[in-house]
Structure 1
Amino acid sequence: MAIRIGQLMHVYPNQYTEYERRHNNLFPEMKAALKDAGAHNYSIFLDKKTGNLFAYLEVDNIEKYNNIANSEACKKWWAYMEPIMDTNPDQSPVTQDLQQVFHLD
């Protein structure tokens, strides 16, 4: 059974187009790292009024997925995205994990 993950992030208002462009050209090694970590059904939605992003993905194993943060592909992606969104000191996106309260199969 897949584990569903929901997160909030934030992109700078003048960077909406660039954020989408970069994701439409996701580094092949980042795409492979996500797949290798068991990520699937990954979508990101933008609220253009606020710059808030809602990310949804499913993973098979949360520990395996969380290890992606240690990969070179992920660190390269974070450095690439850092100038256009809110990030932590390690360049990872500032995220707020959401608690699932309802799901309809």
Structure 2
Amino acid sequence: MVRKCIVMKVFSGLHDEYKKRHNEIWPEMVKMLHQYGAKNYSIFLDSETNSLFAYLEIEDEELWSKSDETEICQKWWKYMKDVMETNEDNSPVSIELKEVFHLD
């Protein structure tokens, strides 16, 4: 199992909308996440900085790296681009954090 942590940004004033969209996540998006090996996926918000901290566990880095090519992922990115910082391809602007400590 590979642990991943990613930092993203939600736009100020859109925290509730961001949360609402995730509370109503599309079943086909959930299915894709599971198909590409995502487990134990959580996103946390620092409302003072608008920072999002996503934590997830994946089965395989190579398999996971292909999830962004799926039609449903592309559709989700387009749906979310008005509430968070995104790149030109609509993917979230994100920084992957390096794990420096873990305790089971």
**TM-score if structure 1 supplies the norm length?**
0.98
Where do residues 1-105 of structure 1 align in structure 2 (5 Å cutoff)?
2-105=1-104
Q: State the aligned residue count.
A: 104
How far does the alpha carbon of each residue in 1:19-42 deviate from its partner, in whole angstroms, 9 at most, with x for none?
A: 000000111111110000010000
Question: Over aligned residue pairs, what C-alpha RMSD do you find?
Answer: 0.4
Q: Report the secondary structure of 1:84's partner residue.
A: coil
The Cα shift of 1:13 comes to 1.1
TM-score calculated relative to the size of structure 2: 0.99
* Aligned amino acid, residue 94 of structure 2: T
Q: For structure 2, which runs of at least 5 residues remain unmatched after alignment?
A: none
1:44, distance to aligned residue in structure 2 (A):
0.2
Higher helix share: 1
Q: How far apart, in 1, do the equivalents of 2:65 and 2:20 lie?
A: 25
Question: Among the aligned pairs, what percent are the same residue?
Answer: 47
- How far apart are the structure 1 equivalents of 2:46 and 2:19? 12
